[in-house]
Copies of this chain bind each other. A is one copy, B any other.
Amino acid sequence: MLYRMIYEKGLAQASYIIGCQQSGTAIVIDPKRDIDTYLEVADQEKLKITHIAETHIHADFLTGSRELAAATGAELLLSDEGGEEWRYAFSHTGLKDGSTFTVGNLRFEVWHTPGHTPEHIAFLLYDTPASAHAPIMFFTGDFVFVGDVGRPDLLEKAAGYRGTMEVGARQMFQSLKRFRTLPDFVQIMPGHGAGSACGKSLGAVPTSTVGYEKLVNWALQINDEEEFVRELLSGQPEPPKYFAMMKKLNKEERPLLKELPKPRRIGLHDIQQALDSGMPIIDTRSKLAFAGGHIPRSINIQNNHAFSTWAGWIMDYEKPFLVIASDHEIADIVRKLVRVGLDNIQGYLPSIEEWSSQGHELEIVEQISVHDLYNVRNIADYTLIDMRGHNEYIEGHIEGAINIHVGYVQEQIADLPKSKTLAIYCAGGDRSSIGGSILLRNGIKNFVNVTGGFNAWKEAGFPYVQGEYPSATPTSVAYTSSAVVS
């Protein structure tokens, strides 16, 4: 038996390729969209991918299941649980609770495990004939993580299915009851690791066991359903806005990606055209370079681990766009884009050096240090905007700051206070640089970005408040699908 976890750091997402060397066949569970990774492993290990399975309709990434099926001819095994509304709209082999299938000597038993989503299933693996009666691994998707369980509120918050989150929490409680019946020795292979927005306190250890989770996972320590529901629904971070789009694209018929896009290098002429036509430009350079100078109206999403998430959150899925990225980073960026379904890249500019040296206009982000803000200037002259998540804000923020999560800045543009200069901040500066670029794109120039953010503020020993809820909370925002950058 071959076992390989493919871990994608940007989305903290785990997929698996499990093979039977004797039969030369393999299954991939929850594949990401850049499927060459699986084809290469299969190639190296001399295995043919004959099966592809998903644990549920993913919200945080666009799966590559159908691309992989097209490339390999493998059978597509998907949940038929959860009711009509959650049925995959394209051809597949439907799985139900109790279904089994085999890949060579490997036998998989399907469990229906609703909670995160109504149709969620998990796969219990038996390595026959070695252990026909003792399961070796449990592929749990977003049901049980190491140290956490899947959040049941995404459908309601991100996709607008009113009233589903409490139902989900109660289903999760029941699903976990059944989970406890598994032997302690079974290994848990989850769908996410630390950093995913699909749970709130995922551990950094990649794998665990049923017995260990029973002892350590918070969700398995609570035996009272009401308490469990309350705890599970509290403190979940803001769901990225693109999750609704992912749900839709993962469920319905859509054009397949034949191969990874190879965007062409563009010139200043193309930039000028984009500026004229309003085509969005993602500037992936560092926030400092962006602050130092950027092409007017471009959006700063730095090329780091959070790139996929922010790109999915901020960009309009319907619109083609350009990218500022160096030659040696563009291939990586393309992968990160297609993983969240942003395939519509029209080209990239490796550097804005030429733009700048030819005397074209550079837009600058005005910056202020925490020292200047607190000691030199009069802080009362500024309206402070805290662009972090609500949980972080509650844990501590600068007195008087209004909390507008960066993901909702675009919707709030019209309602932003205008009497004073805005001073925007986040934890370390990444999110406020995104937010600042959205302000500039909307013509709002009267703001400063606080370098180093709240981290620098605390580091400097300046006072801050804890635990107070401000009047304007992000949950009051009406999320509309048109509120993306366009």
Contact = CB atoms under 8 A, between A and B. Distances in A.
Interface stretch (A108-116, A150-158, A354-362, A373-381): A354-362
Given A184-B211, A209-B186, A358 B459 contact: yes
Interface stretch (A78-86, A129-137, A162-170, A402-410): A129-137
A41 interface: no
B452 A357 contact: yes
A206 interface: yes
Interface stretch (A280-288, A307-315, A463-471): A280-288
Interface in A324-375: 328, 351-353, 356-362, 364-365, 367, 369-371
A190 to B, nearest CB: 14
B136 A359 contact: no
Contacts of A208: 136, 187
A452 B362 contact: yes
Number of copies: 4
B187 A359 contact: no
Contact of A215 (B131, B265, B292, B362): B131
Nearest to A368: B364
B215 A459 contact: no
A460 B362 CA distance: 13
A260 interface: no
A1 interface: yes
A205 B429 CA distance: 44
Interface string A168-208: 00000000000000011111000000000000000111111
Contacts of A459: 358-359
A394 interface: no
A43 B212 contact: no
Contacts of A183: 184, 211
A253 to B, nearest CB: 28
A149 to B, nearest CB: 16
A237 interface: no
A474 interface: no
A290 interface: yes
A396 interface: no
A353 B302 CA distance: 11
A433 to B, nearest CB: 9
B452 A352 contact: no
B204 A185 contact: no
A187 B1 CA distance: 18
A144 interface: no
A148 interface: no
A289 interface: yes
A216 interface: yes
Contacts of A371: 361
Residue from A328, A352, A429 with most neighbouring chain B CB atoms (10 Å): A429
Residue from A290, A359, A428 with most neighbouring chain B CB atoms (10 Å): A359
B358 A369 contact: no
Contact of A209 (B209, B365, B369): B209
Contacts of A294: 288
B293 A367 contact: yes
A258 to B, nearest CB: 13
A359 B458 contact: yes
A206 B19 CA distance: 13
A127 interface: yes
Contact of A210 (B136, B185, B206, B455): B185
A451 interface: yes
A21 interface: yes
Nearest to A264: B43
Contacts of A210: 185
Q: What are the 9 closest A-B residue pairs judged by CB atoms, nearest first? A: A185-B211, A359-B456, A292-B292, A359-B459, A288-B292, A289-B289, A357-B428, A291-B292, A184-B184
27 contacts: A3-B206, A131-B215, A134-B215, A134-B216, A184-B184, A184-B209, A185-B212, A187-B207, A207-B207, A209-B209, A211-B211, A286-B289, A286-B353, A288-B356, A290-B292, A291-B291, A292-B292, A356-B428, A357-B429, A357-B452, A358-B428, A359-B452, A359-B459, A360-B456, A361-B371, A362-B451, A364-B451
Given A357-B427, A362-B451, 9 more contacts: A131-B212, A136-B208, A186-B211, A285-B286, A286-B351, A356-B428, A356-B429, A356-B451, A364-B451
